[in-house]
Amino acid sequence: MLVQSFGIGVRQLREAQGWSQERLAENSNLNRSYVGEIERGRAIASLLTVEKLAAALQLTPSALLTRGEAISQLQPPPGGKLMAIAC
């Protein structure tokens, strides 16, 4: 779950900058397709990759990871369903 949430956070931050995946890849010295895989939660970023992405986005690695963790806490558990509670 954290892998997908981390990718969502990276995509949100990239889009907030108005950047394409290509631009983020160039600024972080990564391959564009790899950035896409991270954003889709299909690749697990190494610590070095987290560091590169964070630097490109002008964040600390811990801030980038914390964002992914916060998004993860907002997501329903795998197989779980969202339910509304009426008061």
pTM: 0.83
pLDDT, residue 74, reads 85
Instruction: Write the CB contacts of 54 (distance below 8 Å, at least 6 apart in sequence).
Output: 60, 61, 63, 64
pLDDT, tens digit (0-9, with 9 covering 90-100), for 3-25? 999 999 999 999 999 999 999 99
**CATH number belonging to the domain at 2-74, selected among 3.40.50.10320, 3.40.50.620, 3.10.105.10, 1.10.260.40:** 1.10.260.40
Instruction: Write the CB contacts of 21 (distance below 8 Å, at least 6 apart in sequence).
Output: 14, 32, 35, 36, 39
pLDDT, residue 34, reads 98
CA distance 54 to 63: 8
